[in-house]
Amino acid sequence: MADHFGGFGEIFIAVAILLFAFTSIIANFSFATVNIEYMFKRHAKGAVQALRLAVLAMVMIGSVATLTFVWDFADLAMGLMATTNLVAILLLFPIALRVLRGALDAIVVINAEGHILEFNPAAERVFGYARADVMGVAARGLLVPERHRPAYDEQIRRVLQAPHLDTEGVRIEARALTRDGGEILMEVAFNSVLGENGPVIIAFMRDITQEHAKTVALEEARRNGQTDPRAAAARLDRNKRHSASMSVWHSDQRYESVRGFAPISLEDSQS
């Protein structure tokens, strides 16, 4: 650097190293503080004070120690941190797996090509497929009614192209196909993460067929001027028998603006 830029190169390198060291100390101190407060809880104040003293000691030692010692110690510290994280991941994996298996919502995980990577027990109950039978199968052809597949393709494209945070908390209502050929109305929330082999899409799904039928029945009762709950309940029972024939990808104006789906009227959902 000095050969090309003269004295400016030396100054630039010195300032860059100073800023890198300062920001690294602040970031690692923040991470350590959060972890200590979580582990020690009521006794966190004293533990954080000890951490501060340790950080000050490290800074003082690092400023006078040889460069070789500093880098060797840094490598050792990073290795210990990585080892601790790996042990924690191994210990938490069974818990995370039990949470996934015990989730009440159907969870389907697919890769960027649309192939199923995970299918939890709730999804098995909702769709009627065994997990072993759907692993690696394209979700598009298995779970999406044929007439809605172009909308599904567009939805997946939008999720993959959107920044990670833009997909969180966005829910849509969509028709899904079960093993026996029937259709159910699902509330779906998408999330995208970067996996080992590229983007992964996680779909959290809940069967709202009966809830939708109840809403339709109550709306019809209001339109017909009925106030008797028993009359509305009777209409709901009739709607339940026809709920499997409802064929819409339902989305209100908010979802249309976010996901590009056309809104479906209440009357359309009964056809």
Q: Output phi, psi for 5, to 5 deg.
A: -115, 0
Give the pair of three-digit tokens for residue 188. Answer: 């779906």
pLDDT at position 260 is 39
pLDDT at position 135 is 95
**Eight-class DSSP state of 171:** E
pLDDT at position 123 is 92
Low pLDDT (below 50) residues in the chain: 165-166, 241-271
Coil, strand, or helix at residue 172?
Answer: strand
pLDDT at position 21 is 85
pLDDT at position 246 is 39
